[in-house]
Homo-oligomer: A and B are copies of this chain.
């Protein structure tokens, strides 16, 4: 489907075989060409149904990457940001990083037995799901601080890697890293193929997502922005410099923190942004308010059969995880964001289907 990639005026096969001999190439171009080469008969975005959501992405790319377009955007200004939980992968029944923190509690208690008698650790160790469901936000914060701080950044990375290799989602019985949304992977890949730099802007910890972002999203660690705990430079006993994760929140990358974090780590306004909850509202507003053509899109989880259904927008249940209010839905319509309906817009949800 060569024609879907605007302005490629050459024999791609020749280019690809030429490029294959070049070892110093960054992944970008090869990924782009490979994508074009292997585009199935359904065209780009094969896991999307035809409709306004898919069309809005195609229109946006065409308008901003065709040099003849009055809305053309220079390649160096092509920035696209994606929320993670609920936008790129499943966030129910609980955010994966929270699962990680809860799973770390027994390990921590083995190292520091005194914790076994202290709340909220006692409740977590009891394994009583009803009691755990009642943990308050301050309780969860205590667990987050205890399990995400006090170690070196290298130790943390190793722990997360180990956990990801074994932990499984309770419904699909698969590693969390397989629960990415295939249509969104296609959007990121398509945007990169058309010169966009893709970033993750997550409300959860950037250190956590950076461990696997290259492997599952093809996004390098430096293009992951998220909530950030401070680190402290220090020397190990052998004199080696290390960074220790500290219990001090530097960036709360939720709500207004999203555009603030984007400014801190990217330094300019995105051209396109994708989210799924009230925590993404300011990022979507900020993106849409820029000059020229901008694209803001928001995923509505309305498919309980294939994934989950939650709102409370459009009468869907309010499950407290990934809240999408009716007010946000109304703002989307008013401000010209596109709503992505999982039920109607996604032909396929997961790669393993």
Give which listed residue, B8, B206, B228, contacts A22 with CB less than 8 A. B8
How many Å from the CB of A149 to the closest CB on chain B?
A: 14
**Which residues of the partner chain B approach A14 to less than 8 Å between Cβ atoms?**
18
Assess the A243–B259 pair: CB atoms within 8 A. yes
Assess the A268–B195 pair: CB atoms within 8 A. no
Which residue of chain B has the shortest Cβ distance to A61 in the bound complex? B24
Assess the A10–B5 pair: CB atoms within 8 A. no
A212 within 8 A of B: no
| A250-B264, A260-B232 as given contacts; A240 in contact with B18, CB under 8 Å | no
How many Å from the CB of A271 to the closest CB on chain B?
A: 13
**Which residues of the partner chain B approach A230 to less than 8 Å between Cβ atoms?**
260
**Which residues of the partner chain B approach A220 to less than 8 Å between Cβ atoms?**
76
Assess the A263–B231 pair: CB atoms within 8 A. yes
A47 within 8 A of B: no
Tell me the complex Cα distance, A5–B268, Å.
34
| A18-B18, A282-B241 as given contacts; A26 in contact with B263, CB under 8 Å | no
**Which residues of the partner chain B approach A257 to less than 8 Å between Cβ atoms?**
233
Assess the B18–A10 pair: CB atoms within 8 A. yes
Q: Quick one: which of A246-263 are within 8 Å of B by CB?
A: 250-251, 256-257, 259-260, 263
Question: Contact flags (1/0) for A137-160 with B, using CB distance below 8 Å?
Answer: 000000000000000010000000
Assess the A75–B289 pair: CB atoms within 8 A. no
Binds B, one of A27-35, A103-111, A116-124: A27-35
Question: Contact flags (1/0) for A189-222 with B, using CB distance below 8 Å?
Answer: 0000111010100000011001000100000111
Give which listed residue, B24, B76, B224, contacts A32 with CB less than 8 A. B24
Question: Contact flags (1/0) for A259-293 with B, using CB distance below 8 Å?
Answer: 11001111110000000000000100110010000
Assess the B10–A24 pair: CB atoms within 8 A. no
Q: List the number of copies, as a whole number.
A: 2
Assess the A259–B286 pair: CB atoms within 8 A. no
Tell me the complex Cα distance, A77–B228, Å.
22
Tell me the complex Cα distance, A153–B264, Å.
11
Give which listed residue, B18, B22, B79, B195, contacts A26 with CB less than 8 A. B195
Tell me the complex Cα distance, A214–B251, Å.
26
Tell me the complex Cα distance, A19–B256, Å.
41
Assess the B231–A260 pair: CB atoms within 8 A. yes
A42 within 8 A of B: no
How many Å from the CB of A270 to the closest CB on chain B?
A: 11
Counting chain B CB atoms within 10 Å of each CB, which of A18, A26, A228 scores highest?
A26
**Which residues of the partner chain B approach A207 to less than 8 Å between Cβ atoms?**
267
A38 within 8 A of B: no
Counting chain B CB atoms within 10 Å of each CB, which of A233, A257, A265, A267 scores highest?
A267
Other than the given A26-B29, A206-B267, 7 more pairs (CB < 8 A) read A7-B24, A25-B75, A207-B267, A222-B266, A240-B289, A241-B282, A243-B260
Those 9 A-B pairs whose CB atoms lie nearest each other, nearest first: A221-B267, A233-B256, A24-B195, A222-B266, A210-B267, A241-B286, A10-B21, A7-B23, A241-B289
